[in-house]
Amino acid sequence: MTPELRQKLLAGLHDGSIVPYLGCGVLRDVVAVEGGQPIPADSDSLIIALNGGKPMSPKLMYEFPRAAMNVELKRGRSAVEKFLTRTYGQTAWTRASLHDWLKEIRPPYVVDINRDTQLQDSYAGVPHLLIMGIARMGGTDYRFKLYEYGAEGYREIAPEAVNPALPILFKPMGSPVPKPSYIASDADYVDYITELMGGFSIPGFLKERRVGKQYLLMGLRLNRDTERMVMADIIYAAGSPAGWVMLPEPNDKERRFCKKLGLEVIEADWSELVDEVPVTA
């Protein structure tokens, strides 16, 4: 990554023209305050944690949504939800270096496909909007919950009541805070992605605000169809180029996909951007 590109990315993060898109790799340095075990964030570690510390069959180890669907069918949807809330809402974790770095910038729009609360913690005390994905919900055409954070914490609001000037935290896969909601199992993803493609998983004000934005993907490999479909729809109407992917040693499949979407590959780890002191806007 050249100094010129680094300066361009940092400036864009500050002014909001470039949107951080965070994958599980940004949590790799996070461990439990008690015990020191790594946070389960990637697919394999989530499956093993869901299964009480043991791997599942090779067929179920393929991807977390598949394993979560298996558990849901055997033990009910609540078993998966309780696991995710216990993991991300009831366990104390150390801070991720990326989130400490991002807190200093506080971009006006961030997409985070992880289910932990560190991004929200970075905006604590700062008024903002939180969009959380939901799935298989009756009585609504929407596949999101919308909250505004203020002096008294989060309160759910209607899309028509938003203050468009507030920073937006978009957590499509959910969070335990303020009220647990997750996209986790195969059935969740089928419903959510279908409605995402139909335009019902993103509020109208965000559809307008995202036009022409560019994205910086960090901590995300692009081998899995599920994550690729979610990302492609979330960055719809992006600028040209659509953005950049910090991707060490990309494979041919990842290169082809990025080229198709107009994403430029930076063959470097996200830490190369974070390890130095951020420039000011």
Task: Please report, in angstroms and rounded to a whole number, the separation of the first and last CA atoms in the chain.
Answer: 20
The pLDDT score that the predictor gives to residue 278 is 45
Which of helix, strand or coil describes residue 264?
strand
| Strand extents, DSSP E, the chain | 18-22, 109-112, 128-133, 144-150, 153-156, 168-171, 174-175, 181-182, 214-218, 243-246, 263-266
Closest CA to 183 of 124, 137, 236: 137
Length of the chain: 281
pLDDT (tens digit per residue) in 40-63: 999 999 999 999 999 999 999 999
User: What is the distance between the alpha carbons of residues 192 and 184, in angstroms, rounded to a whole number?
Assistant: 10
The pLDDT score that the predictor gives to residue 164 is 87
* pTM (2 d.p.): 0.96
Q: Is 9 left (phi over 0), alpha (psi -120 to 50) or beta?
A: alpha
The pLDDT score that the predictor gives to residue 137 is 86
The 8-class DSSP code of residue 280 comes to P
CB count in 10 Å sphere of residue 175: 27
- pLDDT-based confidence at residue 146 (cuts at 50, 70, 90): very high
pLDDT (tens digit per residue) in 244-267: 999 999 999 999 999 999 999 999
User: What is the distance between the alpha carbons of residues 36 and 22, in angstroms, rounded to a whole number?
Assistant: 23
- Portion of the chain with pLDDT greater than 90, in percent: 94
Closest CA to 63 of 169, 188, 168, 237: 188
Alpha-carbon 18 to chain mean position: 15
- pLDDT reading at 193 higher than 80: yes
Closest CA to 238 of 263, 260, 270: 263
pLDDT (tens digit per residue) in 58-103: 999 999 999 999 999 999 999 999 999 999 999 999 999 999 999 9
The 8-class DSSP code of residue 69 comes to H
Domain map (residue ranges) of the chain:
3-35+91-274, 43-89
